[in-house]
Structure formats: C-alpha cells, structure tokens
Amino acid sequence: FLAQAEMSLDEALDSNVKLDSSLLEISSNYKKAHKELEAELTDDHRKLMKQQKAYEEKYSRLFYGLSLHDTVKELLVIGDIKLAEKVRTEHKMTDKHFWYLRIRILGSNFQWEELEKF
C-alpha cells in the first residue's frame, strides 16, 4: 500500500491538476500502510488546497498548490494577519515556525514599529 500511495502521489504531482482529487485515495493507502502521520498530512493538504481556491478568488493571487509555509507567507505579505493566524491554527503550524515567518515578513516590509512589539 505504501508503494501504491507513493506511486499515485508521484503521478499526481506530475500532473498538478489531478492532485486534489487523488489525495483522498493516497491518504487512505498511507493509512493502510500504517503511515498515520503521512495520511494525516495528506488530508491536511487536501483541506488546504480547498481553502487556497477560496483565497485565490479573494485576492486574485496564486495560492493553489503552495505549501502551508508559503500560504501563510503570502497572506502575511498581503497583510491579512487574521486569516494567516486562522490558517496556521487550523493546520497546527508550530509557534516557532509561525513567528519565524512573521518576523521575516515584518523585517522585509520595514515595519520596524511592529517588530519592536515583540
């Protein structure tokens, strides 16, 4: 099952369109191979991809297919901190990871006053 999961993931990645529809099957194969973490992450990614479609409409920017890190980063760059916070809690991004991102974006936007609040 592991081989099956990895094979279909590999195929799906080659043709990005198919990815979200095959993730369900991939995750169930991971589960059968007792790869719980991988199954969970695949499921998370499926949810994320759905949300990404909504963000694309909202901000007319490319979100689809980005990793969680890049999604949150984009939202921070846009300045929608509330939404960024929401995504990161939903997807259980660690505090450390989030603050790394937050600080870097603030730094690159020269928002020094914001930075000083830490």
State the residues that interact with other proteins by CB under 8 A: 2, 6, 9-10, 13, 19, 37-38, 41-42, 45, 65-70, 91, 93-94, 96-97, 100-101, 104
* Residue 105 or 113 with smaller CB distance to other proteins: 105
Residue 8 CB-half CA count within 13 A: 18
Q: Which residues contact 33 (CB under 8 A, 6 or more apart)?
A: 1, 2, 5
* Residue 78 or 93 with smaller CB distance to other proteins: 93
The count of other CB atoms within 10 Å of the CB of residue 99 is 11
Task: Give least dist CB 99 to other proteins, A.
Answer: 9
